[in-house]
Chains A and B, each alone.
Chain A
Amino acid sequence: MSGLTRMLRLIAILSGVAVLVTPAGAQDRPRSGGELIFAVPSEMPSYDGHREGTFGMVHPLAPHYNTLLRVDPNDRTGTKIVSDLAESWTVSADGRVYILKLRRGVKFHDGSEMTSRDVKASYDKIVFPPPGVGSIRKGQYTNVEAIEAPDASTIVFRLKWPQASFLASLASPYNWIYKAEILAKDVRWYEKNIMGTGPFLFVEHVKGSHWVGKKNPNYWDKGKPYLDGYRAIFMKDSAAQVAAVRAERAHIQFRGFSPAERDSLVSALGRKITVQESAWDCAAWVAMNQERKPFDDKRVRRALTLALDRHQASQALSRIAVVKEVAGVQVPGTPYATPPDELEKLAGYGRDIKKSRAEARRLLREAGVPDGFSFTFTNRGLPMPYEPVGVWLIDQWRQIGLNATMATIEASQHVTELRAGNFTVSSDAQCGYQVEPDLDLAKFQSKEISHNNYGRYTDKVLDELYQKQSRALDPEERKRYVREFERRLLDEQAHTVITLQWHRIVPHSAKVRGWTITPSHYLNQQLDTVWLSE
């Protein structure tokens, strides 16, 4: 990278950071008008948010809808819950009854009034879907006993047991409020149609090409949205996305670019580009199949994690791949994340790599494999970040005498192989749609509970800790359980290996204002606060 490139990149990052740290009041006044054009690297199979799980649906469709609660669009941690259709809420002392008061005067795009009947019908579809109707996140709501709508502006959720994450569950970016009357006539109507209360009206969808929305003039939040409309262009190829932003044919691609792509945009566009970066709620993990020897031995698993020099990798890999932060089970900088000094006490997280690797070799000797052994590391066939992380892992394991061979398999086949247990050691990942321990840790429960526990282990202690943290309503108490869970998962049992946290990089046209990056690329996509400066 040339000196000029470096300087431009620095200027752009600093200007981006400057925008982020400037208090909202001090920013320019939002300007109305204009069409936001953004690239979307994926496309939705259907239009039903309760049914699908891809960000390719959230980015173009979220602006048509509201959720009961939402994540504060200005909160960079993506964890602060604020109101959306529910303007206030109360929680009973035992944490089992949530009463939410809805806004009045909210209208669907067809002009009909939104009431608690619509909210109940939407949540009934998510939590208690009728036969034949898929609800992908139903498992997140097994705790819900009943949903009631005592009057037009009140909705009540009764839980079987207290759940710390329940408010966050109501702010899920997928839980769009649909119209009860439509659902009553055809519960699958929303798979092919749009009818929400959101800031933008649906205009057009050309499959494989683009999605268009226009301003909802009757939006309940007066003065919003600022944009006249938006156009989402589906673009699978990252080079085409970069070219589109560079040629100013697109303002932004919300998911993120690689460091090299960021640098090329910054060097080409200079001050015309703003870069927002954040730790990403996705992590590059390593799954070790405990049904295969010698990975049933925790000493071997610990050796694998002790071999990794995460702090050095954080500096080196972050230049070429979308990974950066040294992290535990929660996104660094978020409320339940373990502070760095405490994290360093976990196996493989210390700064003295020689000591860690000596310990790793000792453990391998104890486990009866003093000369190391060979195994196949199955990697997902996607370049970013799997390929560079895979190469790095193999090098790190070689330092303690382990000979890993990388077998890269097609991305779609990779999921099937993992679920079937057809691997010894494999790359593994999960991207969260919210930063929330209940969501982020669920995967690591015993295989009998979690269908994507690819380590294929049973650990009742871990299951119990998961339940404890989930039910702890006091944040400090919950933090303690999350830490215990983390220690057992990553250190004592070393069930899994976390390499580095993904790092989200969104370089976008400097004209785009009012959008704040969060750790999850599923969040903050309603676009009601977004405006264009020119």
Chain B
Amino acid sequence: MSNNELTRRGLLRTGAVAGAGVALPTIFTASSAAAYTNEPTGGTVTLGFNVPQTGPYADEGNDELLAQQLAVEHLNGEGDGGCLNTFTSKALKGNGILGKKVTFVTGDTQTKSDAARASAKSMIEKDGAIMINGGSSSGVAVAVQGLCQDAGVIFMAGLTHANDTTGKDRKANGFRHFFNAYMSGAALAPVLAKEMGNDRRAYHLTADYNWGWTQEESIVASTEALGWETVNTVKTPLASTDFSSYIAPVLNSGADVLVLNHYGGNMVNSLTNAIQFGLLDKVANGKDFKIVVPLYSELMAAGAGENIKGVLGSMNYNWQLDNEGSRAFVKSFGEKYGKPPSNSAQTCYAQVLLYADACERAGTFNPCGVAEALEGFEFDGLGNGKTLYRAEDHQCFKDVLVVRGAQNPTNAYDTLEIVEITPVEQVMYPPNHPMFGGDEATLGECNPGA
């Protein structure tokens, strides 16, 4: 970048240099004159990886952590470089970020908003983390995003699928790489029409909390647009471990498709129960009964075992995706850890690289500069194909995968097969879409803290 105009980014950089000058360590400084929260002053920069390490999503969190560590290695020029070689932006040199070596701290979200905020705060307040990344639930993502906005650091939301994260709860300091419930609906609908026809009758079982509702709303809207009828939508308590009493009435309700708006352990159990009741062997309204699980993950597929055979769903990423970035990432991850990456792993990996790249391009760690560099950024080579970070709501737009439980998996890792790669145009929506807070939703002002 070689322009002499007084741009905002330029100003920020000058500010940063000035700030660093003032903040020179003295024996007895009583205040820090940093230009923004946790401005890195030494030779290192600290990233905070906040993932579930205890509770039902611990394995998901562990996968994210592995990917984040891999990303840090690649940023510091260790390992084979992974996606740094395929990334279309060439700002990253493998020498850390802006010449500073990347270090990281980890925390446990416990998949609880309170605990997640506590651990994010400790990373920001104690360890000087300048970016928070990870997580496996929308409640946690929204809570931590709000915290990062107040504290003045960047939040790269991990696995979060509810519309609200970049809908009514969108924040200027937060970015989401994952897709959302609306996109799942938009991507699944044409495939459902093709495979099951236009005159199906759907029965929804929905986890009774915010994410479940937004997903149900999205799927109902897009399937009804196809001509499907919604027979019933039933909310199931979050604490349920056994769904038999919700599954039992389904067959007799006149429905011929069951949609399970569940995630994680809930989904594993409800799908297992549905298979037990023999739903997939039945014929209703003269058609074969079908089950749809709108949001899939590899770990859920592993937990559900044989039961997912033939069941359709959607995903953010799958390691079988065949493009240059994906191949580089799978090779790098697979050689290090002996298994292919999950879609949450890919999300976190891509986010760490993207954040680093944005810092390089902005020339500063100032969250406002970084956010500006990420807004409207288009790139390729991180595994998802062509991708856009939309400026208006900080949602990422890319192709969405529709997948199906494989009939004859050859190993533990190809239990899901890609049915269709839905092009991004089909899942696009305006930033003021009613499901995303309408016209009232705003990002607010970017907050650099300090």
Chains A and B form a bound pair: no
Give B contacts to A, CB under 8 Å: none
Give A contacts to B, CB under 8 Å: none
